[in-house]
């Protein structure tokens, strides 16, 4: 089955700096790669996703890149703000929506004002 | 749109008792629902896939007789933790996929989670 590795497990950045979180996956058949932000005790919130036919996607301060050959994808947050502090999870699925998500272990991001 | 609710949000029970958690899609029909479990400071782990009108598919290592899942309608799936023990204490989160658009049929919509504490 699919296995998703996520690094780093914790990340501290100064406000205004960029943050990068990286994930690798094992199943080359996976085609859907979402990123979730989870605050303590809350549900995961989808912040951006990418499908295998796209190499990069951007939404304001957030971008995701995908390298299917290397089987890795990354989350980039620019101009970080204290409210970006949370746990971020990457995930992979065979088909968007139709198949269960396999999550990475998460990255605890702290943005220091 | 695309709201998923869970009830209760928090439950405390005694060891040996059973607890039922409901997951509802409020404004769409969910053909598939997933149940995840999240231990403190850990990731979400899939427990089972639930399709309306059929038996749930459990992940390896998840006891189907202990975690009973019923998806009796297109808007409701229930997870019953039977004979709960302290090691079952966790955050249980469901997600739902719509069978028709809107909302988007290729997105999992997560419930707010249920925190179970077994004493």
Alpha carbon of B63 to those of A81, B3, B119: distances in Å?
Answer: 43, 29, 21
pLDDT in tens, B15-38: 999 999 999 999 888 888 999 999
- Of A43, A96, A103, which is closest to B111 when you measure between CB atoms? A43
Determine contact, residues B2/B27, Cβ cutoff 8 Å. yes
pLDDT in tens, A56-90: 999 999 999 999 999 999 999 999 999 999 999 99
Residue A25's SS3 state is strand
Instruction: Compute and round to an integer the Cα radius of gyration of chain A.
Output: 13
Q: State whether B110 and A43 contact (CB < 8 Å).
A: yes
Determine contact, residues A94/A29, Cβ cutoff 8 Å. yes
Name the one residue in this structure whose structure tokens are 């309608």: B73
- Of A98, A103, A105, which is closest to B97 when you measure between CB atoms? A98
pLDDT at A99 over 90: no
Q: For chain B (length 119 residues), average pLDDT per consecutive 10?
A: 91 97 92 93 94 89 94 92 97 88 75 97
Please state whether beta strands A107-112 and A56-59 pair in parallel, antiparallel, or not at all (unpaired): unpaired
């Amino acid at each position: 089955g699919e296995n998703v590795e996520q690094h780093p497990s914790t990340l501290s950045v100064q406000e205004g700096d960029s943050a990068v979180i990286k994930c690798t996956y094992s199943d080359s058949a996976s085609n859907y790669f979402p990123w979730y932000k989870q605050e303590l005790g809350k549900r995961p919130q989808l912040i951006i996703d990418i499908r295998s036919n796209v190499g990069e996607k951007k939404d304001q301060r957030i971008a995701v890149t995908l390298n299917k050959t290397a089987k890795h994808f990354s989350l980039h947050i620019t101009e970080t703000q204290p409210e970006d502090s949370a746990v971020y999870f990457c995930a992979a699925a065979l088909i968007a929506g139709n198949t269960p998500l396999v999550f990475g272990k998460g990255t605890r991001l702290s943005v220091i004002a | 749109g695309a709201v998923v609710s869970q009830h209760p949000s928090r439950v405390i029970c005694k060891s040996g008792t059973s607890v039922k958690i409901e997951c509802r899609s409020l404004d769409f029909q969910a053909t598939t629902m997933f149940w995840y479990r999240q231990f403190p400071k850990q990731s979400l782990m899939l427990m089972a896939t639930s399709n309306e009108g059929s038996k749930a598919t459990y992940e390896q290592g998840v006891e189907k007789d202990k975690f009973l899942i019923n998806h009796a309608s297109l808007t409701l799936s229930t997870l019953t933790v039977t004979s709960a023990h302290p090691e079952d204490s966790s955050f249980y989160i469901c997600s739902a996929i719509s069978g028709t658009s809107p909302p988007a049929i290729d997105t999992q919509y997560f419930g707010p989670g249920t925190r179970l504490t077994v004493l």
